[in-house]
């Protein structure tokens, strides 16, 4: 078998791509913004904050959790979510490192 295309890139490049893909949906951005705003682990409040059905929100939460952007802790019958500070700082670093060139070509 041949190598996959991701094998041609560094581990850091692949991680950044995974994080970027995970936040590449407006509902996921809204979830992240809400978690940052409340600055705490939340259980059921997200459904009340977004104009989406509970199963749709659960799917978005799953994608964010799989990418490591959020953490989920089981408390009774609910899963409480909060921001994973380490992964989120990587995202912040990604956007901070993207800068416009000093001289414009157009």
Extract the runs of DSSP E, i.e. beta strands, from the chain.
Answer: 70-75, 78-83
Model pTM?
Answer: 0.80
Split at pLDDT 50, 70, 90, the class of 45 is: confident
97: alpha, beta or left, given left = phi > 0 and alpha = psi -120 to 50? alpha
CATH of 5-92, picked from 1.10.1740.10, 3.40.50.300, 3.40.50.720, 1.10.10.10, is 1.10.10.10
pLDDT in tens, 62-90: 999 999 999 988 877 778 899 999 999 98
Domain ranges of the chain: 5-92
Using only C-alpha atoms, the chain has a radius of gyration, in whole angstroms, of 17
**Residues 103, 25 contacting (CB under 8 angstroms):** no
Split at pLDDT 50, 70, 90, the class of 47 is: confident
CB proximity list for 42: less than 8 A, separation 6 or greater:
34, 35, 80, 81, 82
Q: What percent of the chain has pLDDT over 70?
A: 89
């Amino acid at each position: 078998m041949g190598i996959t295309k991701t094998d041609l890139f560094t581990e850091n490049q692949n991680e950044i791509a995974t994080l970027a893909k995970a936040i590449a949906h407006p509902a996921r951005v809204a979830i992240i913004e809400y978690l940052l705003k409340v600055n705490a682990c939340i259980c059921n409040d997200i459904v009340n904050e977004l104009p989406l059905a509970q199963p749709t929100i659960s799917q978005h939460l799953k994608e964010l959790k799989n990418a490591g952007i959020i953490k989920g802790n089981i408390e009774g019958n609910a899963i409480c979510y909060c921001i994973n500070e380490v992964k989120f700082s990587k995202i912040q670093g990604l956007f901070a490192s993207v800068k416009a060139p000093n001289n414009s070509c157009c």
